[in-house]
């Protein structure tokens, strides 16, 4: 294991067990629009550069998720990266993808800049407006749960579960597509992440109901997340925004349609009265949450990297352990095109 101070695991280990205050951060300007290039369109549909001899892919469930062994993500060439972008977006070759788990990866031990450069191939990396990050690398979103984390306890004072379905930062004008989440330190059990296939969730709906959803647009808001961060002692990098996106979006590389709503950031349907909007969104949220046959549960282990397409999935972390155990996970999320129907 490398001991370079520029490895992601190093600043995490230096913080472990300490009670620290966040360093002051400078308020940033709003994110500017940019032209996203979808590398999945350039991919070999047979994945000959990515899934070479010796690489094994196995399904997690019949509806979503696969585990891959026998390759090192950080060593992929550009052709293999193109294929990775397509692999996590579509349902071929095993009809189970959208989320892919890679074991025994070196993301936590390579220099941070190398990890950032790798993920940047897939799009402009998102800088989270409220979350913690490694100094000098605001793109590296750190997810921490541990004995000194009081946010979970506060949440369960008013809620009965830690499950919170969402697609990452869907309130942005150009939310992320290809997303990398990698384990630095995880408990032996607990702290799993659950994913749902939003393409199959859409496909399960009746033709008449799909017709009803066509053309609908939804308001997505960052204001509630920003307010919660400030209440819990956090800081803002950018002023919170709202964006309007289609309720059903189309993936540019696969042409598949997916539900693009979830309860964490979606707020209302444009043009509907409050009661109408709440009734329709409640049904869709329940459809997503109850469709366990469209979900998978990813168990973390040290050196795991989970890659998914944020445009066609929703997910939730689970906080289901107590005591002096830690869960440190880092995320690099490549922004994509503005959602279109």
Closest CA to 101 of 112, 88, 85: 88
Question: pLDDT tens across 128-139, in order?
Answer: 998 877 888 999
Distance between CA atoms of residues 268 and 275, nearest Å? 10
Question: pLDDT tens across 4-31, in order?
Answer: 345 666 555 544 444 444 456 667 888 8
Q: Determine the pLDDT at residue 298.
A: 94
Q: Determine the pLDDT at residue 144.
A: 75
Mean pLDDT of the chain: 87
Question: pLDDT tens across 268-286, in order?
Answer: 999 999 999 999 999 999 9
Q: What is the mean pLDDT of residues 212-237?
A: 91
Phi and psi at 138, nearest 5°, equal -65, -20
Q: Determine the pLDDT at residue 17.
A: 46
Distance between CA atoms of residues 192 and 301, nearest Å? 10
Res 47 pLDDT > 60: yes
**Chain mean position to CA 116:** 16
For domain 34-335, give the CATH superfamily.
Answer: Clavaminate synthase-like (3.60.130.10)
Q: What is the mean pLDDT of residues 62-85?
A: 95
Q: Determine the pLDDT at residue 114.
A: 94
Res 332 pLDDT > 80: yes
Res 236 pLDDT > 70: yes
Cβ(121)–Cβ(335) below 8 Å:
no
Q: CA geometry: angle at 159 spanning 153 and 163, to 5°?
A: 90
Q: Determine the pLDDT at residue 189.
A: 82
How sure is the predictor about 146, in pLDDT bands with cuts at 50, 70 and 90? low
The radius of gyration of the chain's CA atoms, rounded to the nearest angstrom, is: 19
Res 122 pLDDT > 90: yes
Per-position b or e across 100-119, b if 16+ CB within 10 A of its CB: bbbeebbbbbbebeebbebb
Query: At 81, which helix (H) or strand (E)?
Result: helix 78-87
Kind of pairing between the strands at 99-102 and 66-69: parallel
Cβ(237)–Cβ(73) below 8 Å:
no
Query: At 333, which helix (H) or strand (E)?
Result: strand 327-335
- And the tokens for 225? 């997340």
- And the tokens for 79? 């052709």
Question: Who wins on pLDDT, 109 or 200?
Answer: 200
Res 82 pLDDT > 90: yes
How sure is the predictor about 72, in pLDDT bands with cuts at 50, 70 and 90? very high
Res 315 pLDDT > 50: yes
Report yes or no on whether pTM surpasses 0.85: yes
Question: Who wins on pLDDT, 2 or 281?
Answer: 281
Neighbours of 212 (CB within 10 A): 12
Domain ranges (residues) in the chain: 34-335
Across the strands, what pairs with 332? 180
Cβ(256)–Cβ(200) below 8 Å:
no
Question: Who wins on pLDDT, 220 or 7?
Answer: 220
Res 221 pLDDT > 70: yes
E strands within 42-136?
56-59, 66-69, 99-102, 133-134
Q: Determine the pLDDT at residue 163.
A: 80
Q: Determine the pLDDT at residue 3.
A: 37
Cβ(244)–Cβ(220) below 8 Å:
yes
What is the percent of the chain with per-residue pLDDT over 70, rounded to a whole number? 86
Distance between CA atoms of residues 331 and 183, nearest Å? 9
Which residue carries 């997340």 as its tokens?
Answer: 225
């Amino acid at each position: 294991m490398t001991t370079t101070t520029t490895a992601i695991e190093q600043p995490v280990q230096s913080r472990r067990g300490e009670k620290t205050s966040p360093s002051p951060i400078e308020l940033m300007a709003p994110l500017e629009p940019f032209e996203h290039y979808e590398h999945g369109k350039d991919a070999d549909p047979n994945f000959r550069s990515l899934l070479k001899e010796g690489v094994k892919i196995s399904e997690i469930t019949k509806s979503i998720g696969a585990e891959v062994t026998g390759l090192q993500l950080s060593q992929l060439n550009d052709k293999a990266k193109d294929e990775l972008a397509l692999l996590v977006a579509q349902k071929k070759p095993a009809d189970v993808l959208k989320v892919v788990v890679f074991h025994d990866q070196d993301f936590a031990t390579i220099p941070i800049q190398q990890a950032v450069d790798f993920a940047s191939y897939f799009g402009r990396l998102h800088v989270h407006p409220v979350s913690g990050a490694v100094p000098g690398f605001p793109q590296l979103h750190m997810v921490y749960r541990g004995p000194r984390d009081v946010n979970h306890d506060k949440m369960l004072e008013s809620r009965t579960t830690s499950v919170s379905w969402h697609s990452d930062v869907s309130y942005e004008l150009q939310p992320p597509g290809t997303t990398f989440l990698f384990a630095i330190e995880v408990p032996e059990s607990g702290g799993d992440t659950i994913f749902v296939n939003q393409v199959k969730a859409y496909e399960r709906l009746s033709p008449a109901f799909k017709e009803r959803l066509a053309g609908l647009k939804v308001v997505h808001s960052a204001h509630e997340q920003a307010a919660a961060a400030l209440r819990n002692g956090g800081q803002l990098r950018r002023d919170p925004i709202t964006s309007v996106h289609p309720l059903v979006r189309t993936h540019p590389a696969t042409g598949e349609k997916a539900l693009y709503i979830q309860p964490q950031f979606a707020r209302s349907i444009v043009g509907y009265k409050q009661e109408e909007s709440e009734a329709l969104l409640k049904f869709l949220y329940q459809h997503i949450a109850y469709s366990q046959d469209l979900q998978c549960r990813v168990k973390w282990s040290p050196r795991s990297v989970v890659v998914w397409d944020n445009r066609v999935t929703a997910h939730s972390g689970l906080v289901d352990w107590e005591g002096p155990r830690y869960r440190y996970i880092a995320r690099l999320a490549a922004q994509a095109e503005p959602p279109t129907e």
